[in-house]
Structure 1
Amino acid sequence: MSNNDQLISYAALILADAEAPITSEALLSITEAAGASVDKYWADIFAKALEGKNVKELLFSFAASAPASAGAASSGAAAGGAATEEAAAEEVEEEKEESDDDMGFGLFD
């Protein structure tokens, strides 16, 4: 993540925690109050992406459905439950494919 999208993400979380509407103007005012300079298009993108969505619900559904061992690998997913479930399913498949037992030999055979 670049600095701009990190700052806007934090601003969106602040607004969600305050149960305030996430608008481009609100995102920019929070980042400016923090002494940061963020391009307006970043605020526009985040406001449009989060329009009509419950950010807290997205975060909690993501945290609840992500496996504990895949926390670092899945933390970059910005989408909700469907993307998280796909990532978890792919990770399980990769773990199965990497097993030496599936190939008929092991390290000490």
Structure 2
Amino acid sequence: MAGSELACIYATLILHDEDIAITSDKIATLVKSANVTVESYWPSLFAKLAEKRNEEAPESDDDMGFSLFD
């Protein structure tokens, strides 16, 4: 895995962990503050991927009032 990809992965994880909206600008800012140079398209690719993955979690069995072991 290239350094550019890894830097964007870490930046995306940091933003997610801190409950900050994941945007290409914020990823680029984090990467730049870490003194890592990445190609300009990487932050936008990771932001788009995070946007697609940001769906509501499916309901668990606990929410339905029953479980497997009742």
TM-score by length of 1: 0.47
Secondary structure of the residue aligned to 1:14 is helix
Partner of 1:39: 39
Determine if the alignment matches structure 1 residue 17 to structure 2 residue 20: no
| Distance in 1, Cα, partners of 2:34 & 2:50 | 21
| CA RMSD of superposed structures (Å) | 1.4
Q: Secondary structure at the match of 2:22?
A: coil
Percent of residue pairs identical: 35
- After TM superposition, the runs of 4+ consecutive aligned structure 1 residues lying more than 4 A away are none
Per the alignment, residue 5 of structure 2 pairs with 5
Q: How many residues align?
A: 55
Paired with 2:47 and 2:40, the residues of 1 have a C-alpha distance of 11
**TM, length-normalised to structure 2:** 0.72
Any gaps of 5 or more consecutive residues in structure 1?
Answer: 58-109
Q: Which structure ranks higher in relative contact order (CA pairs < 8 Å, sequence separation ≥ 6)?
A: 2
Structure 2's unaligned 5+ residue stretches are 58-70
Task: Choose 1 or 2 for highest CA Rg.
Answer: 1
Shift of 1:24: 0.3
Letter in 2 for 1:47: A
